């Protein structure tokens, strides 16, 4: 299974969207400063995730969530939690 995930920086409030096959390991990498974009905004928490059976589906969803319409959808999803 492949995951599309949304992280939120607890120190800056910024959001990050990514995809991975191993979500737990990927979160650890983000919080250890091993990812360029997220390095200066640690710590990160997972605020949303979705599972897909193929990498292609996950990447398409990741690209959508990074688009204008996708960001609007995430804003709605995350404010209703």
Is the pLDDT score of 81 beyond 80? no
Alpha-carbon distances, residue 61 vs 9, 12, 26, 31, 34 (angstroms)? 21, 25, 18, 23, 24
- Taking alpha carbons only, the member of 13, 53, 7, 49 closest to residue 27 is 7
The residue ranges of every structural domain in the chain are: 2-79
Alpha-carbon distances, residue 6 vs 31, 71 (angstroms)? 14, 11
For residues 50-79, give the mean pLDDT.
Answer: 97
Confidence grade of residue 80 (pLDDT, cut at 50, 70, 90): confident
Cα(55)–Cα(81) distance, rounded to whole angstroms? 27
pTM of the model: 0.93
- CATH class held by domain 2-79: alpha beta
Note the pLDDT tens digit of each residue in 19-57.
Answer: 999 999 999 999 999 999 999 999 999 999 999 999 999
């Amino acid at each position: 299974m492949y995951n599309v995930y949304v992280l939120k920086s607890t120190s800056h409030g910024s959001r990050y969207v990514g995809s991975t096959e191993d979500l737990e390991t990927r979160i650890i990498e983000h919080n250890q400063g091993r990812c360029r974009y997220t390095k200066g905004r640690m710590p990160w928490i997972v605020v949303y995730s979705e599972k897909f059976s193929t990498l292609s589906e996950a990447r398409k969803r990741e690209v959508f969530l990074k688009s204008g319409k996708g960001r609007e959808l995430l804003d709605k999803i995350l404010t209703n939690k």
